[in-house]
Amino acid sequence: MSAVEDAEQRPIKRARGDEMKPSTEENEGQANMDIDEDLHSRQLAVYGRETMRKMAAARVLICGMNGLGAEVAKNVILAGVKSVTLQDTKKLSLWDLSAQFYVNEEDVGKNRAEACVARLKELNTAVSVRVCDRKLDESLVAGHSVVVLADATMEEAKQIDAFCHQQVPAVSFIYAKSAGVFSSVFCDFGPSFTVLDVDGENPHTGIIASISNGYPALVTCIEDERLEFQDGELVTFSEVKGMTEINGLGPVRVKNCKPQSFELDVNTENFSNYVGGGLVTQVKEPKVLNFQPMAQAIQAPGEFLLSDFAKIDRSQVLHLAFQSLDKYVETYGAHPCPGSYEDADKFVKIVEKMNNEAKEKVDGLDTVLLKQFALGCTSVLSPMAALVGGIVGQEVVKACSGKFHPLYQWFYFDSAESLPKELLPAEELLQPDSRFGAQIAVFGRAIQSRLLDMNCFLVGAGALGCEFLKGFAVMGIACGRGTVSVTDDDTIERSNLSRQFLFRDWNIGQSKSTVAADAARAINPSINIEAMQNRVSPQTENFFNDEFWQALDIVVNALDNVTARLYVDSRCVYFSKPLLESGTLGTKCNTQMVIPHLTENYGASRDPPEKEAPMCTLHSFPHNIDHCLAWARSEFEGMFEQAPAEANVYLEDPVKYVESARSATDSLTKEKVEKVLDCLATNRCSSYEDCLVWARMKFQDYFHDRIAQLVYTFPEDALTSSGTPFWSPPKRFPKPVMFDTSDQAHVMFVRSMANLKAGVYGIATPDWDEAKALALLSRTEIPEFKPKSGVKIETDPNATANRPALSDESVILNLIEKLEQGSHDLRKADLRLNPIHFEKDDDTNFHMEAITALANMRARNYEITEVDKLKAKFIAGRIIPAIATTTALATGFVCLEMYKVIQNKKIEDYRNAFGNLALPLFALAEPIPPKRETFKDMAWSLWDRWIIEGDVTVQEVLDWLKEKELTAYSISCGQSLIYNNIFPKHKERLNKKMSELVVTIAKLEIPASRKHFDVVIACEDDEGEDVDVPLVSIKFR
């Protein structure tokens, strides 16, 4: 038995009300707990270490191992709590398999918790997971931090919640219910719950330009960045010069906030005058929430959390419906039977009676909606379980940590638009001998049959891909005559395991798509799935050819970059295939439905590009740690990847390299030759000791000499041409750093840089002997720095990387001469260097140590706050924050839309979604229709193509368009112009076949299997006005 399990089994000897007060030992263990930062790096980017430590001390009880309970358990275990208890007294039935993904048909008849516990344990071996098959009561609740009820009546929930609410401290309580396409979530975190971080966003900051003396004090900030402060927020000040009193003032309220200024609720009349500099930082205030117990909250629910403003009154209806469901069970001893319209009518009568007795009545009850609710109320559907399981899993994290704002207190969600338009015959809703019986009870046999025969293309098998494949297998997609094709060219890394839940540690290094496909078959052996390792791109169109795309019914993107998304989007538009798009970022997710001829495509709207720091800022004038890390990453790649790679090009064929360099006179060539010269001659290392000395000299160059030269060129009192101080915000005046062997940051810089330098040259890295290394460094002679006059330092923020041509080619010739002399012996030895490609997730390779040291020493030059390796890894490694709960939410939204696609629903039935689990906020809206062009009696959009049949000539194409009263003046294929009426010679092409011209002029290669090619035609009307016509396909075979 492990220590964790042993602790879990010990009898609890605390008095009632003190069950969850941690002992001193537990507090110490929590504070000193080591977090596996490699495994949880993406999750740490969302939560931070403190939240992760709090979660690692939490004990969670999840009651009811239906599909929803399993989803919650999966997300909570992946999050990394201390322990999870799975409570259930029910036996697994075939009905449960419509959403429960950790059981199979052989488990039918077993206790539901026992049937899935082994698979849940595999998700995170650091979490103790145990089963309890006895009835839920107060004694079981005691000893847990959070209780989740996923398959209970409201009456049972009220009793357990009342006990939880009375404890000191309170046991956080969450009640969730999934009933077909309807769901409910309720939270009660006790009479006084403190939220430490309401939104999870980084504190807003600003760089100060001035502060007035008086009341209220007016603070203005530099115009480069827009302030995000809101009236009433608290801020603190630091690094202010002159008015130093304000630095130690403590949090101050702001008011009258504007994009570049705000006022302080402080009188600064007697403060010193502001001289310059300074930062202002938002202080995030805790928020105390007073939750009501469920018994009271049912009667006075307050404001419901809305998700769809097209259903403004839906929450009140569902609040009544879920209560009525309990009343139905109390009256008739069971839930309404699937497919029973008699039971549905009884349920509607109960709802109407309860509504008439309510203090606040719901006007105009939708009886069809209520019947649909009753018919599917016993069904837990996979998409709804994923969606609600993501929400509830996140609420558990909030309850454990105080991180993010809890759901307060009721949330109802439905996807009634997914249901068939008309109520189906009872026999269409019944198939009790099927593992899809619960889904059939909601959608009917015909829709289930379409799901079984669906051909689906899933692009990506990462976090989203794993969730989708689980959903497909449980929903029955491609479990008949259809096929799921999944492709991903990536392999599994350890950092994937905290959210890509189909993978295990023994899969590390294996293909994502292959392992994910095998895992999907384990969930449902009937699924027909083909795993591929090809990237979907223009280069693989021979593999993903016309026949492949034409055979598809639907495409689902599970990608992590915009370029790939845009390409898949273009293919779906071309072949008129539905594309279901989704993405996540930390606690946020969005989904977009791209439906042929109904909605705009993914590429129709773009996010603005991220603002990049100017070159001069990165090279000489950083003012935040992001600038330092961007510079560090650039220097790392230049030294250890680009320079050795360029040196290898030279070593491969020195004569050819030199000839090429001699013929060029641009500064880019000069830089390349300088890098090769540095690697192979000037700073070539032949021993580890050489590498240490090189690293020490690099420290001197980077952090002393370059800075000393900068402040020599621009002294602290330097003025610009307009007479203003040169070192005005956001510029920070730097100071050189002196190397100190007693400073571990300096030592780590030398060690990590030396190790990487040794790797480039294939030099063995000995066991680290710090005393020996420091002795060597102490003996190293450092040349005295002598400032140079006339050094050009770029100060123009608009300057780009475009390099001017050199006027004196003798500079390159001189470099080549030195290179040939210094590398003569290497060419003979047939040496090759080892370029080092940056890898952030390997903690043994010293890559992040080097980048962290580079960035922090530069930050020290400019008095910028330094960061630890983890924070450096997030920024320099460009890690995208990711958690399992958000992924589940996104895939739940998307899979609910799949029901609509196969029914060919109207645009008003589809929903694009945005969610932010931190707030929480859910916003669903109808997709935007495509932009439509009209001409005469014709109309078209991006989705349309005009098809010309036959192996036609250019003249025949012009005539075809003339019949539409359009004059074609230009025809192009790819980048080549096939015909334009302004060129007299192009008249010779009029009687030539288009199929001949696209091959001879455009160099188009048309596969033998392809029967058409595409051309872009520019047209005008009779008045000479341009008309934007669709893409034209010529079907010549």
Q: Give the whole-angstrom CA distance, residue 45 versus residue 77.
A: 18
Q: In this structure, what are the phi and psi dihedrals at residue 233, rounded to the nearest 5 degrees?
A: -75, 160
Q: Hey, what are 56's tokens?
A: 């690692």
Q: Hey, what are 359's tokens?
A: 């203090």
Distances 149 to 88, 159, 702 between C-alpha atoms, Å: 10, 12, 59
Could you count the other beta carbons within 10 Å of the beta carbon of residue 121? 15
Tokens 């001017």 locate to 804
- Residues with Cβ within 8 Å of 420's Cβ and at least 6 positions away in sequence, in order, are 443, 444, 447, 903
Residue among 452, 598, 344, 434 nearest 97 (CA)? 434
AA letter at 989: R
Could you count the other beta carbons within 10 Å of the beta carbon of residue 21? 12
Q: Hey, what are 530's tokens?
A: 């083909």
Q: Hey, what are 555's tokens?
A: 């495409």
Q: Hey, what are 403's tokens?
A: 């991180």
- Residues with Cβ within 8 Å of 452's Cβ and at least 6 positions away in sequence, in order, are 476, 477, 478, 479, 480, 481, 482
Q: Are 87 and 62 in contact (CB under 8 A)?
A: yes
Beta-strand (E) ranges in 100-155?
Answer: 128-132, 146-149
Residue among 847, 849, 879, 882 nearest 867 (CA)? 849
Choosing from 187, 479, 589, 616, which is the catalytic residue?
A: 616
β-bridge pairing 261-264 and 279-283:
unpaired
Distances 45 to 580, 627, 766, 870 between C-alpha atoms, Å: 27, 19, 34, 9
Q: In this structure, what are the phi and psi dihedrals at residue 772, rounded to the nearest 5 degrees?
A: -65, -40
Q: Give the whole-angstrom CA distance, residue 761 versus residue 650.
A: 15
Angle at 100 between CA 97 and CA 106, to 5 degrees: 55
Residue among 653, 576, 565 nearest 607 (CA)? 565
Q: Is 377 a catalytic residue?
A: no
DSSP state letters, 227-289: ----TT-EEEEES-BS-GGGGGS--EEEEEEETTEEEESS--TTSPPP-B--EEEEEPPPEEE
Q: Give the residue ranges of DSSP H helices in 592-687.
A: 615-619, 625-637, 643-652, 654-662, 667-677
β-bridge pairing 554-557 and 456-459:
parallel
Could you count the other beta carbons within 10 Å of the beta carbon of residue 34? 7
Q: Hey, what are 1022's tokens?
A: 């009779």
Residue 491's DSSP bridge partners are 511
Q: Are 514 and 531 in contact (CB under 8 A)?
A: yes
Residue among 548, 546, 508 nearest 532 (CA)? 548
Tokens 């249901």 locate to 419
Angle at 40 between CA 34 and CA 43, to 5 degrees: 120
Q: Give the whole-angstrom CA distance, residue 685 versus residue 77.
A: 49
Q: Give the whole-angstrom CA distance, residue 804 versus residue 269.
A: 53
Q: Give the whole-angstrom CA distance, residue 245 versus residue 240.
A: 9
Q: Are 593 and 925 in contact (CB under 8 A)?
A: no
Q: What is the DSSP letter of 313?
A: T
* Cis status, amide bond into 169, omega within 30 of 0: yes
β-bridge pairing 579-585 and 588-594:
antiparallel
**Residues catalogued as catalytic:** 616
